[in-house]
Structure 1
């Protein structure tokens, strides 16, 4: 009997999300299926409530976490094909939405009335948050057709929803007044990356440019600046070369220095960049008037095997939060790992410094909540960084199958099964 080769356990990177007003509410970390939230105002772990009695709240790896722009909602989603919407006032799950496929990215409309999520088949779905919230059904919004969507973002003015995929594309779509009927008008495509697009972020809008400028990171080790109304590429910064990870001729381990996350601070005039293999971050200056990107500095986490997998910040502080870790590490005594670090002075008011644990907002209580109490050596985190790198490669680099495997996959397709 034919059988497909056994798949390895999928590894998911640790994720972090920071409430827009960091001083008042929460920092959330997702490791595997576990969601950990610390309430900075109360100085203690938040007690999450899910009436579905799911423990943990997700049954498989969490792939996306997001706070709403106004901080009232928090969304988590992932491989268990569920999207959970939480109230940040009570930390109660107010609705759970089922997806047909595993979820890869989420976004919340600027007014907090719609949640959008993307699945591994390349579809983007939308859910309205009007009462009643029980048994909400998602409606199809748009499609990339069989290309894994890696990131979703709303433009600062709320006019557009942007979707990026593993086939190097960024699609800019007009977000309609009635999104439950679908989004049919494409504004532009931003084309220029030569590998999968991994992350998107916006430079804050101005009167001259209310929709903002877009920055994107990719598996091609670059960060690019775009005008989304026309799709024009404005500038490219080869961040891996600037950080000393690649030679100028680009010779290095293939796909070893993908940009894994971006976060804009100082109203988007500064862009923090996380890169595979970099023990720290790269800070880029974004000059809106000249529409250019340039390296401001590299902030290293000295003396520690810390390669960030996700970044987060709030508009009210000068702190950049970073997390590294994985959902599972085969052969390790620590099945799931997480380590949280904070860089202060990211807003430019003082020198950027990696804070010691006792100086992090929330202190040891926060760290115990978000990363656990077990001590983990640096070798485990180095192995975790390699596991995340391999997982991203396996997920986002298109696989080439031998002919016999291709025939098996064709026969086992669900649509073929239904016909037979």
Structure 2
């Protein structure tokens, strides 16, 4: 009973997320069930309008479309909401059968894919949504693929639009070719394979994905981060591993004297479009590191700051990061959020030196103190609050990503009470 109570408590903690408009027009932060948006052009906060009252539970994924015209949020309330970024009205709402863990948007902004907690990926056509209507349209999604009851941690479409790539908690990356997705969403894929990226271990999940697109390669390369402190470069079209960066081996991690045998997880990745810079957020480490071309710790160690999410705009040389966690027992306004920015995060930055990339002071952050007040709801945050938030962040990440192990009796009990067969895709591996 005590173990179940602890698991229930941990499940109620969710990490803060950040997403930047591709043209650097706005920045969105989610914590708990709330979404906070700051308009960088008008230097003011934005009010989101939803006739259905917005999200009712923790948000687990947020994202702008490539053109920035729509913003998508989804999470534990089994809702996927599509927002028009010109009016910030909710124009479409989709109900999922299970809790949503990841989302992706096609290049043309016509389709939204989302993954639920049982590993099924769905697609919904939002191309005909009327952005001028004050009432959101309710859409039904179609299942298109499955990871067979494994939590999907990230979804990404390749830059050329030919593949959808999904990462899961069971150390796998799956690549699906989508030649007919925009014509017939329920078409069975003609090409599908898994990348066995990691050896089996509770801590070796795949946590995040990002694409980079050098000028001479339209289809780009795939970068993945995982629970064993590695960042890996892939040719996703062939499934070939091109390079592995072991963060610990690079000397970027500093021991805190506790649990040295367990390497901290990579929790998020953000890359410049050409891949000249890749920012890696590390769990249990007060830093964001940069790879390549120059390794280095780029955050002040004096603060107990553990980034939970990082994001950037290809048109603006700043990396944004957020730390925060929310419990459903506290109101959204009480949830601690800390937003920071790092300058010099730009494509073709190969000639830059380490000292040219640094953490901006609060007064120098784009949007200034008005942005921080809107996204954080607090301008002054004490050291003790940071420590408490850091512990909550660790719990949230562990609960979401690290696979739980149950006894044989417990597994059989869970199977009898499970109702996850409905809607399973036909292409399970």
Q: TM-score, normalised by structure 2?
A: 0.86
Partners in 2 of 1:108 and 1:196 — Cα distance? 23
Q: Is the 8 A contact 1:58 1:80 kept in 2?
A: yes
Matched, 1:268 2:272: no
- The answer (yes or no) to whether the contact 1:329–1:336 under 8 Å persists in 2 is no
Q: Which residue of 2 aligns with 1:328?
A: 327
Match of 1:370 in 2: 375
Relative distance call for 1:414 and 1:152 in structure 2 (3 A) is closer
Q: In structure 2, which of residues 201, 207, 210 is the aligned counterpart of residue 198 of structure 1? A: 207
1:356 corresponds, among 345, 352, 361, to 361
Q: Which residue does the alignment assign to 1:91? A: 88
Unaligned runs of at least 5 residues, structure 1: 286-293
- Residues 1:214 and 2:211 are matched in the alignment: no
Q: Distance in 1 between matches of 2:87 and 2:331?
A: 36
The CA distance in 1 between the partners of 2:271 and 2:147, in whole Å, is 26
Please list every run of at least 4 consecutive aligned residues from structure 1 whose deviation after the TM superposition is greater than 4 angstroms.
329-335
Q: Which moved more, 1:235-244 or 1:41-50?
A: 235-244
Preserved CA contact (<8 Å) 2:221 2:234? yes
Relative distance call for 1:70 and 1:415 in structure 2 (3 A) is closer
- Quick one: structure 1 residues 140 and 176, their matched pair in 2 at CA, closer, same or farther if it must change by over 3 Å? farther
CA distance in 1 between counterparts of 2:420 and 2:166 reads 26
Shift in Å, 1:400: 1.9
Q: How does 1:14-413 map to 2 (within 5 A)?
A: 14-22=16-24, 25-52=25-52, 54=53, 57-132=54-129, 134-177=137-180, 178-194=183-199, 195-207=204-216, 209-245=217-253, 252-254=260-262, 256-265=263-272, 267-285=274-292, 295-328=294-327, 335-347=334-346, 348=349, 351-373=356-378, 375-413=380-418
Task: After superposing the two structures, state which structure 1 stretch, 104-113 or 368-377, moved more.
Answer: 368-377
Q: Secondary structure at the match of 2:392?
A: helix
Q: Would you say how many aligned residue pairs link Structure 1 and Structure 2?
A: 397
In 2: Cα distance, 1:314 partner to 1:172 partner? 25
RMSD: 2.5
Partner of 1:290: none
Relative contact order: is structure 1 or structure 2 higher (C-alpha 8 Å, sep ≥ 6)?
A: 2
CA distance in 2, matches of 1:202, 1:221: 19
Contact 2:269 2:310 in 1 (8 A): yes
